[in-house]
Structure 1
Amino acid sequence: MSSADLSSNVQSLYAEHHGWLSTWLRRRLGCAHSAADLAQDTFVRVLLRPQVLPTLREPRAYLTTLAKGVVSEHWRRQALERAYLDALAQMPEALALSPEDRLELLQTLDEIDVMLDGLAPKAREAFVLSQLEGLTYAAIAQRLDISERTVKRYMAQGFERCLALME
């Protein structure tokens, strides 16, 4: 597909379905601003997968699938930020971070979340328990009701994922 064809296909898809997608997102999020942002993020994902456009028969189903992933990431990011802000609120004032440090820490937490996104839920939990809570592999195995060997495999997957994304 030439870049002119790609551009034309994306423009058509955007013109025909952006309004519908924004409305669909607004109903789920209850916020027009967030819906507009996530609609744009959805179309960015369309641009990242140009090979799909020529064979696309059900554009709204495709956009819905992409948008659900974008919304899921949005909610996960919000939950992560809320948990961080709750932890900050419980810190003594002398230990409170500056707004710049808070932003940097939130960005770092978001990067870690993205790094671990490809892991299975138990692998992600094992990695977090080890790296953030400092639990031993034996304690993680007991808590997750899995073998230590499985914990080691999950940790290797977590480290591989982090290293691959850092490059």
Structure 2
Amino acid sequence: MEEHQARIIAHHTDVLSVVTSLQRLDEHEWRTPVKLGGWTVAEVIAHFIPWDDFVLQKRLPYLFSQHLLPKGPEREGINSRAAERGRCIAQRDIIADFTNIRTNLLQSIQYIHETDWNRPIFIGDTELTVSAYFIGLAEHDRHHLEEIRAVVKLPNR
């Protein structure tokens, strides 16, 4: 297994474990903003779901094809709809939805051939490798998990 692939798989496995551990939060903790005027823990976790779905549906199928990658969704719109969902949906349902989609993403990543991790891809005019793309997504996850760690106790990973 390619080194970056192993790191990304370990990252997603850890994120699944951390988010699953959020089931122990009471309603107050689950609805606590991660920073002043910011999203709540619930909204942060809810916003991962449509982005994971986007990667599964609109990135992975195109990474190794001759087709151009589909244009990304409008970030503010997808984030705002996801945050609204985080405010309205039960904690167990948000965590279950996240777990399902992230598990599907993890399984798909495991099938990427080790020689493809250094393959260049283009997102718009930006050239990067498959590895760099997934490392960027992992950095996004870590940023939000650090925000959550600031307000609730999470397992150290």
Do the two structures share a fold, i.e. TM-score over 0.5? no
> Structure 1 length normalisation: TM-score?
0.25
1 or 2, which has the higher strand percentage? 2
Q: Which has the higher contact order (CA 8 A, sep 6+)?
A: 2
Q: Which has the higher helix share?
A: 1
Normalising by structure 2, report the TM-score.
0.26
Q: Which has the greater radius of gyration? A: 1
